Structure 1
Amino acid sequence: MSAGLCMCGSGKKYAVCCGPLHAGRNARTCEQLMRSRYSAYVLRLEAYLLHTWHPATRPARLNLENDQTRWLGLKIHSREDGGPGDGVGWVSFSASYRSGQDTHTLTERSEFVRLPEGRWVYVDGE
């Protein structure tokens, strides 16, 4: 995986894009976290997804090992705030996926906050 392009659609190699975040580095922006979370869904990294989810809205489990969803692509539409000096931000995106024989698109505006220790986390989406 580390030699190929990152599945988040950034055009960068996984080893310099989402890979370091999956290995423990904190995201600098909420968009960077959003991309790494999409890649984590592709790779079924449940522990990473739960770690990057706000404690107030985080589910106990995701059960990704039984999930048959095949993620096909991510498109970021916009980012509002959520930069290195911000405490809150939003990312609007579309993610296409296949479930069974059907292809779908999930469109969401996700909210992120920076925790007191400086780590971005996903709160919720609409």
Structure 2
Amino acid sequence: MSARTKARKRALDMLFQADVLDVPVMEIVAGEASRAAGEPDRVASWLYAREIVDGVTDHRAEIDDLISSYAQGWTIDRMPNVDRAILRIASWEMLHNPEVPAPVAINEAVGLAKEYSTDDSSRFVNGVLGKIAEHAQS
């Protein structure tokens, strides 16, 4: 598993925890930073996970507006927490990280949805992100 794939999982964990526990994401990040400091082999994945979480936090309003506009019949608040976090991560990568091609961001997000969410989530995530990718190219 690549360092970026591990980083996406770590970012998902942090965003999900903050959402479920209803605490500021930076509290979760601080705890993860302490753990990462004690495990030098996790440095590469930690740095990108932190970049993702910071990026999602900085651009959350824009990202949530896009997700809401393309998630037909779903509001951000009605989405399962894990799906919402996955969509935010991939949306940030497509919109604000030119190093990650949209198909890679979508593929990684669909994989996370298959692993951590419901049977229908991967199709939902794929559909929403496909529309966001089209938006990003226009």
Q: Which has the higher helix share?
A: 2
TM-score (norm 1): 0.33
TM-score (norm 2): 0.32
Q: Which has the higher strand share?
A: 1
